[in-house]
Amino acid sequence: MSTTMHETPDHKLGRRRFLGVAAGAAAAGAAVATGLSSGAASAAPGKANGLLIPAPNRGIILYSVRDRISAAPDSSGVPYGFRQVFERLSRIGYREIEFAGYTQSTQILGRQITTEEIRRLLDDNGLVANGTHATIPGTITPDTLAAFEQQLDIAEALGMKHIGTGGDPTGSNYKADWDAAAERWNILGEMAAKRGLMLYTHNHDAAYGFLLDSGPLDAQGRPTRSSGVRKLEYFFGLTDPKYVFFELDIYWAHVAQHRFRTYTDPDGFTQTDVFDPVATVAARTKRFPLFHAKDGVRTGEAPGVGGGYTMVPFGTGDIDFATFFRQIGAKGWHLPNWEQDNAPGGSADPGRSLRYAQLSYDNMAALRG
């Protein structure tokens, strides 16, 4: 799938339906133009001017600015390392941080930064760690459980309430593998809960494809057709809602909506079922404490062909975030983290990911229902 950026001189709020109410958009735009967000910051969750994402809930996963977290000291003038990047993100207005690793260039301190030092930098900049894409064991053994406890130690030290992973519970299409994954996640989720943490998994598009659970068997004895249930939605029912939670990647959910529209039923007939990201969250809204607020522009591919979208900064694409956040329920409760996989500009444009962080924050702050 292509990830080519759609660059324009100024694509902030370029698609007006994104904001929902024209008057609200104008007021928000004026605040952004002056570099201020005091109106959003003072608004009560879900109230003033139809605000959909309260200021304290606006977050970022550091994967979006991974190039600047990992950068060595240079002469570009662009922030590098945890200290400088946290300072910039805090000035932009972000308050919630999701981690994607805990290391920076050893050239900054002459050694690797410690967990305790990262926590101090968070506190110094008024930032809260809301989660992490850590390594979740693929098997249950004494060694893997001990390694998971170490991940829980780090999460606790950084003040997190959630711990998760950037991958799906399994990449399989088959029921037996999802059954095994659910058993494992229930065990790990209970371990996390005993430490005051919520274990979550982050979806890609394939997780919302159809489970192969019926029909004739293939040469390896595996089913070849589907009852119409989607893989991750099957997982919802197998896992304990007290212990296993979810981070919906809104972009990948829309890619799934584009890709996975038909399945072959147990009798061999083609059935159509279009995925609804809003409905899957609204039915179990408090099992989704976190989101990846990632935007995309439609590529023009026919439904079911390719991915259908390419990633762009939040608020400059075709995904209707106003409707999404208005309809999922529990307004003001969720923590959306901006993510854009292709934000880094490389050596040719080292400041791009932080510019996109600013643009995406401004558009998130302007989002009205």
d(CA 16, CA 10): 14
Q: Which tens digit of pLDDT belongs to each residue from 145-172?
A: 999 999 999 999 999 999 999 999 999 9
Q: Residue range 33-50: average pLDDT?
A: 40
Q: Residue range 114-130: average pLDDT?
A: 98
Q: Residue range 84-102: average pLDDT?
A: 98
Q: Can you give the length of the chain in residues? A: 369
pLDDT of amino acid 24: 37
Global pTM value: 0.88
What does each C-alpha distance from 183 to 239, 284, 309 come to in angstroms?
7, 20, 34
Q: Which tens digit of pLDDT belongs to each residue from 59-76?
A: 999 999 999 999 999 999
pLDDT of amino acid 50: 81
Domains of the chain, start order? 16-365 (3.20.20.150)
Q: Supply the mean pLDDT for the chain.
A: 89
Q: Give the amino acid at 237.
A: G
pLDDT of 18 over the 70 cut: no
Please enumerate, as own/partner, the contacts of 227-231 that have beta carbons within 8 Å and a separation of 24 or more.
227/265, 227/266, 228/263, 228/265, 228/271, 228/273, 230/260, 230/275, 231/168, 231/173, 231/178, 231/206, 231/207
The percent of residues in the chain predicted with pLDDT above 90, rounded, is 85
Sign of CA dihedral 50, 360, 114, 73: negative
Q: Residue range 95-112: average pLDDT?
A: 98
Q: Residue range 316-342: average pLDDT?
A: 97
Maximum pairwise Cα distance, the chain:
65
d(CA 125, CA 128): 9
Where does the pLDDT of residue 315 fall: very low under 50, low under 70, confident under 90, or very high at 90 and above?
Answer: very high
Note whether 260 and 203 are within 8 A (CB): no
**Range of weakest confidence among 45-49, 261-265, 275-279, 297-301:** 45-49
* Of the candidates 104, 101, 115, the residue with the CA atom closest to the CA atom of residue 72: 104
Q: Residue range 178-192: average pLDDT?
A: 98
pLDDT of amino acid 49: 65
Q: Residue range 8-29: average pLDDT?
A: 39
Strands 309-312 and 295-298, how do they pair?
antiparallel
pLDDT of 28 over the 80 cut: no
